[in-house]
């Protein structure tokens, strides 16, 4: 029985590699709180300042790299923290019984879950204007409901003496379970980090009557999101987010370290535009991920890059002259013989690829010369036929 569970963990844990770091931060902060709380006033002020420094730095990085999805998630967290402190100052110890606080909890949960599932789009676009309007509308709604003494809260008349009542706990619980399930399936950097940051935010709300806990857990959430932003930016600069392969930038970097002899091949997806129209962006991304896994399973020792949406570049290091063609043609034939199954698509999908190969020559100054020769060979044949391997 024990071996069965060990084998199960060995299969599952590698699929959740992006959850280890945020989960570790959450665990460390929880232990720190239980062992050392309450903190001295100096430590509380340091945590309070650290939260704003980390959050503002995170917003600056996201603006620089034009990322909208984590940006609004961070903004919701920032507004929540500021308003909790304001309500504690304005209402005193009964702040958590006021309509202002109940409405803040509900709108914070709604904002976090909305921006968690927001599609990743450029920040500087017309969509950002609409999302800002949504944020301002939520703030206006909360202020209006509070002014007429209406609570968005359906808890029984029970006072726990903490920052979250039954209805709020249920809301946060549903949100966190949904995020964690989604993050465990996707296992992407931002998804996992946002889910664990939401846990920190929930604990911050729950223990908001304690200044040490409020500052500590919101700072932990800000730190998780800041690290996730840095990791995500570093990832997208080096990797293709859809397939996890190295991108064009990584190709240029690694091209400087290639051996004296190698073969460079280009694999072009036939009828890519028609596939994109038929299966939309999500479907084509899943399809490209399956194609890339197929290629790497056929040639595990080759270097595979996704330089453009419809083209892969493959390098066969130390390949003898003439052998690269056979290896690339084998990839083409196996892809043509394969069937790919997409979610919600009943029939299996069959696709073809057109390939070209060029071996490194002494006359080639660098990898760009080899790539240009391979690309010209592909263009010449692609005008007349598809599902074929050409040689430069």
**pLDDT digit string (tens) for 227-272?**
999 998 888 888 888 888 888 888 888 888 888 888 899 999 998 8
Domain boundary residue, one of 212, 238, 264: 238
pLDDT-flagged residues of the chain (< 70): 1-16, 156-161
Say if residue 181 is in the same domain as residue 274: no
pLDDT at site 366: 83
pLDDT at site 3: 54
Give the phi and the psi of residue 356 in degrees, each rounded to 5.
-145, 150
Say if residue 207 is in the same domain as residue 262: no
Helices (H) and strands (E) in the chain, counts: 13, 5
pLDDT at site 160: 62
Let me know if residue 345 belongs to a domain: yes
Domain boundary residue, one of 181, 215, 238: 238
Let me know if residue 155 belongs to a domain: yes
Task: Report how far apart, in Å, the C-alpha atoms of 248 and of each of 22, 308, 314, 356, 378 are.
Answer: 29, 8, 12, 18, 18
Say if residue 159 is in the same domain as residue 38: yes
CB atoms under 10 Å from CB of 178, counted, come to: 15
- pTM here? 0.80
Say if residue 217 is in the same domain as residue 284: no
Say if residue 218 is in the same domain as residue 261: no
Burial 49-85 (b: 16+ CB within 10 A, else e): ebbeebbeebbebbeeeebbbbbbbbbbbbbbbebbb
Express each pLDDT in 280-310 by its tens digit.
888 888 899 999 999 999 998 899 999 888 8
**What are the CB-based long-range contacts (under 8 Å, 24+) for 142-150?**
142/100, 142/103, 142/104, 142/107, 145/99, 145/103, 146/98, 146/99, 146/100, 146/103, 149/99, 150/99, 150/103
Say if residue 223 is in the same domain as residue 272: no
Express each pLDDT in 342-357 by its tens digit.
877 778 889 999 999 9
Confirm if 98 and 55 have CB atoms less than 8 A apart: no
Say if residue 130 is in the same domain as residue 262: no
State percent of the chain over pLDDT 90. 39
Say if residue 229 is in the same domain as residue 270: no
pLDDT at site 14: 47
pLDDT at site 341: 86
Let me know if residue 294 belongs to a domain: yes
Let me know if residue 120 belongs to a domain: yes
Let me know if residue 363 belongs to a domain: yes
Say if residue 258 is in the same domain as residue 151: no
Say if residue 7 is in the same domain as residue 135: yes
Q: How many domains does the structure of the chain reveal?
A: 2
Say if residue 21 is in the same domain as residue 94: yes
Range of the domain at 39: 2-238
Let me know if residue 243 belongs to a domain: no
Domain boundary residue, one of 238, 271, 306: 238
d(CA 193, CA 199) in angstroms, rounded, equals: 10
pLDDT at site 1: 53
Helix (H) or strand (E) holding 72: helix 69-91
Say if residue 267 is in the same domain as residue 322: yes
């Amino acid at each position: 029985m024990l071996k069965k569970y060990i084998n199960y963990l060995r299969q599952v844990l590698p699929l959740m590699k992006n959850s280890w770091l945020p989960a570790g931060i959450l665990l460390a902060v929880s232990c720190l709180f239980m062992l050392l709380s309450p903190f001295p006033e100096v430590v509380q002020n340091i945590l309070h300042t650290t939260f704003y420094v980390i959050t503002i730095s995170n917003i600056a990085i996201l603006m620089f790299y034009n990322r909208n999805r984590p940006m609004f998630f961070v903004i919701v967290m920032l507004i929540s923290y500021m308003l909790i402190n304001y309500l504690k100052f304005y209402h005193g110890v009964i702040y958590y019984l006021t309509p202002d606080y109940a409405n803040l909890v509900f709108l914070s949960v709604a904002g976090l879950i909305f921006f968690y599932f927001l599609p990743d789009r450029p920040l500087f676009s017309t969509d950002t204007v609409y999302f800002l309007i949504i944020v301002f509308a939520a703030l206006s709604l909360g202020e209006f409901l509070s002014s007429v003494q209406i609570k968005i809260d359906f808890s029984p008349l029970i006072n726990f003496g903490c920052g979250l009542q039954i209805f709020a706990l249920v809301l946060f619980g549903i949100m966190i379970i949904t995020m964690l399930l989604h993050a465990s399936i996707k296992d992407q950097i931002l998804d996992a980090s946002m889910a664990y940051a939401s846990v920190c935010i929930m604990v911050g709300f729950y223990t908001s009557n304690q200044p040490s806990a409020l500052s500590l857990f919101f700072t932990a959430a800000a730190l998780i999101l800041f690290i996730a932003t840095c990791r995500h930016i570093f990832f997208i600069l080096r990797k293709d987010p859809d397939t996890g392969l190295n991108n064009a930038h990584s190709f240029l970097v690694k091209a400087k370290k290639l051996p004296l002899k190698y073969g460079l091949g280009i694999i072009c997806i036939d009828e890519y535009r028609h596939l994109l129209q038929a299966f939309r962006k999500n479907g084509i991304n899943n399809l490209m991920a399956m194609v890339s896994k197929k290629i790497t399973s056929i040639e595990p020792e080759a270097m595979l890059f996704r330089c453009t949406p419809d083209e892969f570049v493959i390098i066969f290091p130390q390949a003898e002259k003439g052998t690269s063609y056979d290896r690339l043609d084998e990839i083409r034939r196996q892809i043509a013989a394969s069937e790919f199954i997409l979610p919600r698509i009943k029939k299996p999908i069959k696709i073809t690829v057109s390939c070209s190969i060029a071996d490194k020559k002494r006359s080639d100054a660098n990898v760009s010369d080899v790539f240009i020769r391979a690309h010209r060979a592909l263009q010449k044949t692609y005008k007349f036929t598809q599902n074929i391997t050409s040689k430069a």
